[in-house]
Amino acid sequence: MVRKRLREGFTTGSAAAAGAKAAIFFLSGRRGIKEVEIPLPIGGRLVIPVECVETLKEGVRATVVKDGGDDPDATHRAKVRSTVCLIPGSMNGQVTVYGGRGVGRVTRPGLPVAVGEAAINPVPRQQITEAVQEGLRESRLTGAVSVTIDVVNGEKIAKKTLNPRLGIMGDISILGTRGTVKPFSHEAYKETITLSMDVVRANGLDTVALSTGGKSEGFLKGIYPRLPDLVFIQVADFFAFSLEEATARGFHNIVYACFFGKLVKMAQGHPYTHAKASQIDFGALARWCRALGMEEGPSMGIVHANTAREALAYIRGGPRMEEILSDIVSRAMGAARPFAGPLPNLTYALFDPEGTRLILREEKGAES
């Protein structure tokens, strides 16, 4: 079977930059603008469709519909509007970028934007500036330019993102270090993990609570109700990466919540636990169980198990459950240490899919 190639999209930063450049062209007398070409932060160029350009009392506004390609992006199809005002006779080529309706405000330190500023990251700010300056040169206009970015329904869209947890309040942020969106991008997810960790550290917290997804995070919050929401970070399958980044930021305590399948993959040394990249060795798992006293019948059931849930059922059905699960957690913690290093305290929380806590184990680090 031939796999379909996933389609790339473009970021909210690229959408804002394209709208700003289209508005400059409109100010120069150009009409019927359907697309513009903009520079990308990583080099190269991209042609972006423009939905409409209109004259307002405060300037010229261009609307670009953000296209996330085949990436499951909360901002896909969002309408990003760039309103441009040209100030002739002022400092030629100077561009000031503002956040308007639908663009959030930063309320916590640790992000690349200062507290109180509009949540438009430095890279897209620079991209917008360069696109406007290109537009000025190509249209032969002179003067300073102000650009105000709005996002239609930004507050509603923001509820589907991590913005509230990161301290970006009210609306969405304008992002994009590449200018394009790679479908299901590992780089984008890793950037979210590290950015979240930076916010935790900037707020003076020395504990980070990692989880493989929303369900395990919710169960972990039940164990640690006094920890602020800020410290809980969903790291998906990035086992090694998340531990390395947490240690690099000097966290004293690292808590890791997961279900049985991910735990076994960690115990078997897989640095990335996605099903496409790693498989459970059920034979090895059965040998571990047999060494701790599991009878032959259940252990052979594990050998032939189709899923981790099925294997766990054999373990939970026997008298050695505590010893076996404890041993697997110990193996996972042993696999975690090369990535986390010797210093931080490590805690593992293992849950079943219904939220029952099966194991909670802490291992003190060298700095304790």
Count CB neighbours of 50 within 10 A.
22
Is residue 274 pLDDT above 90, yes or no?
A: no
Radius of gyration of the chain (CA): 25
pLDDT at 2: 39
CATH number of 9-181: 3.30.2110.10
**pTM of this structure:** 0.74
Q: 346 or 114: whose pLDDT is higher?
A: 346
pLDDT band at 242 (very low <50, low <70, confident <90, very high): very high
Q: 5 or 349: whose pLDDT is higher?
A: 349
pLDDT band at 254 (very low <50, low <70, confident <90, very high): very high
Q: Tell me the CA distances in angstroms from 261 to 134, 301, 308, 320, one per residue in order.
A: 52, 16, 5, 19
Q: Is 72 helix (H, G, I), strand (E, B) or coil?
A: coil
* Percentage of residues of the chain with pLDDT beyond 90: 77
pLDDT band at 3 (very low <50, low <70, confident <90, very high): very low
Is residue 4 pLDDT above 60, yes or no?
A: no
Is residue 210 pLDDT above 90, yes or no?
A: yes
Per-residue pLDDT tens digits for 138-194: 999 999 999 999 999 999 999 888 788 778 888 999 988 788 877 666 777 898 899
pLDDT at 5: 57
pLDDT at 58: 87
Is residue 82 pLDDT above 80, yes or no?
A: yes
**Comma-separated ranges of CATH 3.30.2110.10 domains in the chain:** 9-181
pLDDT band at 74 (very low <50, low <70, confident <90, very high): confident
φ and ψ at residue 236, rounded to 5 degrees: 55, -125
Average pLDDT of the chain to the nearest whole number: 92
* 3-state per-residue secondary structure call for 203-266: CCCCEEEEECCHHHHHHHHHHCCCCCHHHEEECCCCHHHHHHHHHHCCCCEEEEEECHHHHHHH
Per-residue pLDDT tens digits for 46-69: 999 999 999 999 899 999 999 988
DSSP string, 13-60: HHHHHHHHHHHHHHHTT-----EEEEE-TTSSEEEEE--EEEEETTEE
CA geometry: angle at 247 spanning 366 and 333, to 5°? 65
Query: Do the Cβ atoms of 308 and 328 come closer than 8 Å?
Result: no
Encoded tokens for 295: 């009878």
- Nearest of 121, 245, 98 to residue 177 by alpha carbon: 121
Across 101-127, average pLDDT: 92
pLDDT band at 307 (very low <50, low <70, confident <90, very high): confident
φ and ψ at residue 268, rounded to 5 degrees: -90, 10
Burial class (CB in 10 A: 0-12, 13-18, 19+), 3: exposed
Is residue 1 pLDDT above 70, yes or no?
A: no
Q: Rounded distance, CA 41 to CA 129, Å?
A: 11
Dihedral sign of CA atoms 165, 169, 170, 174 in order? negative
* Percentage of residues of the chain with pLDDT beyond 70: 97
